[in-house]
């Protein structure tokens, strides 16, 4: 429990964090990595270079300051972050390091304005928040390890099969090298791959949704190749997976994690909306609904550039055909001439509210969506415009939380 004085002091820093938050977190990462370069084996370098990790941490610190007297209100966000920490291998020993350099960065950026009273209050508050994360993550490690076939940290998997799904997306079928049974997972969850790429000084960890139903003798991920676009460099891990990783190779894999999962207690209709490679968790959810919930209506909506970029189409259509209450709709932003001749899509252009309302038979449903950030911003805005309750809106975004996500919470 924090003292009233500490709570008041933390709350007094909220306006300062709103202005200087990102500057503080940029300085924090700089100082921490200089002192502990091995931590670069955990953090996503691309997110660091693009400033996304710094912005995400600034949002998290700001939210903690705002809710310091009612931390229970941010527990859902804590659990979401804790899932990612567990999949990355974050351990209790990392938290004192983070705390040390976060406080040092606050002092460094704010100078004399960061009085001893403010620094001491933040040290006390950070200790409380860190303990919450440590406790939640300890339980997650325990759950991951104790289930049948489970493990903690990373385990060796063999690439059993590699399948090209579209011009940009490749599926990898992964099986345990030790031949043990695979633990189950919740549709919508992800795994982390820890990659050692020749020529790279650090390891790289990336998270990928499981794109098949639970209960298979393999885990499947479907990875989009991220090529260089203008100032954005190519994705080191995705390009390496596509170009270099072959069947029979061994990869280091975390146990499944994530809280973007189907609400099985709610039997209302389900609406699955995806863009690009964001369809991967949706395919897992659809496959699970076909197997376990044939009486629950499902609407599957997917947006792609065109048929050349549309992965797993045949698989989705087969799943929909096996579920009497499921429908599917395709939206292509730039269909090819062949797409037009084949009448391969239901809508041309971008998703819009009138069209969504026309293809979703019952608005009183649970909505799940995933895709590129701009796509997700658009879908979230459309659902809010439709007055869909926030409690019925669920999404997964890979990468640090953005401003719109903070607002959504």
Summarize the annotated binding site for FAD as residue ranges: 190, 206-209, 397-400
* Residues 312 and 285: beta-carbon distance below 8 Å: no
Annotated binding-site residue numbers:
85, 190, 206-209, 276-281, 397-400
Intra-chain end-to-end CA distance of the chain, in Å: 24
Of 29, 62, 137, 219, the active-site residue reads 137
Q: Cα–Cα distance between 317 and 308 in angstroms, integer?
A: 16
Q: Strand 204-209 relative to strand 270-275: parallel, antiparallel, unpaired?
A: unpaired
Alpha-carbon distances of 258 from 85, 118, 209, rounded to whole Å: 10, 34, 9
Could you tell me the sign of the dihedral formed by the alpha carbons of 304, 307, 312, 313, in that order?
positive
Q: Cα–Cα distance between 213 and 319 in angstroms, integer?
A: 11
Q: Strand 326-332 relative to strand 298-304: parallel, antiparallel, unpaired?
A: parallel
* Residues 122 and 8: beta-carbon distance below 8 Å: no
Q: Is 348 annotated in the active site?
A: no
Of 29, 62, 95, 395, the active-site residue reads 95
* Residues 290 and 218: beta-carbon distance below 8 Å: no
Q: Is 141 annotated in the active site?
A: no
Q: Cα–Cα distance between 45 and 279 in angstroms, integer?
A: 25
Residue 82 buriedness (CB in 10 A; 0-12 / 13-18 / 19+): buried
Annotated binding-site residue numbers for NADP(+):
276-281
Structure tokens at 273: 């909306």
Q: Cα–Cα distance between 88 and 40 in angstroms, integer?
A: 12
* Residues 365 and 301: beta-carbon distance below 8 Å: no
How many alpha carbons fall within 13 Å on the CB side of residue 149?
Answer: 19
Active-site annotation, residues: 95, 137
């Amino acid at each position: 429990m924090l003292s009233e004085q500490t709570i008041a002091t933390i709350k007094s820093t909220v306006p300062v964090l709103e202005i200087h938050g990102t500057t503080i977190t940029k300085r924090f990462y700089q100082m921490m990595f200089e002192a502990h370069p091995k931590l670069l084996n955990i953090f996503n370098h691309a997110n660091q270079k693009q400033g996304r990790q710094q912005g995400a941490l600034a949002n998290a610190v700001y939210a903690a300051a705002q809710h310091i007297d009612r931390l229970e209100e941010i527990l859902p966000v804590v659990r979401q972050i804790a899932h990612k920490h567990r999949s990355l291998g974050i351990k209790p020993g990392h938290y004192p390091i983070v705390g040390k350099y976060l406080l040092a960065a606050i002092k460094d950026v704010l100078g004399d304005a960061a009085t001893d009273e403010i620094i001491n209050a933040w040290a006390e508050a950070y200790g409380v928040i860190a303990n919450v994360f440590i406790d939640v993550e300890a339980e997650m490690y325990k759950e991951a390890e104790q289930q049948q076939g489970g493990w903690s940290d990373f385990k060796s998997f063999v690439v059993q099969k590699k399948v090209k799904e579209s011009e940009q997306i490749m599926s990898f079928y992964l099986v345990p090298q030790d031949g043990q049974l695979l633990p189950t997972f919740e549709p919508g969850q992800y795994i982390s791959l820890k990659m050692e790429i020749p020529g790279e000084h650090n390891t790289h960890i990336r998270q990928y949704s499981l794109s098949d139903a639970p209960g298979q003798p393999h885990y499947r991920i479907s990875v989009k190749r991220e090529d260089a676009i203008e100032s954005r460099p190519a994705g080191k891990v995705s390009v390496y997976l596509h170009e270099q990783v072959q069947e029979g190779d061994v990869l280091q894999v975390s146990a499944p994690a994530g809280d973007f999962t189907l609400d099985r207690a709610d039997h209302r209709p389900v609406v699955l909306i995806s863009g690009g490679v964001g369809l991967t968790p949706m395919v897992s959810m659809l496959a699970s609904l076909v197997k376990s919930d044939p009486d629950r209506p499902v609407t599957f909506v997917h947006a792609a550039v065109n048929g050349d970029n549309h992965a797993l189409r045949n698989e989705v259509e087969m799943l929909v055909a096996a579920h009497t209450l499921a429908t599917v709709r395709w939206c292509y932003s730039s269909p090819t001439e062949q797409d037009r001749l084949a009448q391969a899509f239901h809508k041309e252009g971008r998703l819009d509210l009138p069209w969504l309302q026309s293809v979703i038979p019952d608005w009183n449903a649970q909505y799940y969506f995933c895709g590129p950030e701009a796509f997700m911003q658009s879908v979230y805005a459309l659902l809010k415009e439709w007055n869909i309750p926030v409690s019925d809106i669920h999404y997964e975004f890979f990468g640090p939380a953005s401003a719109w996500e903070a607002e959504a919470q």
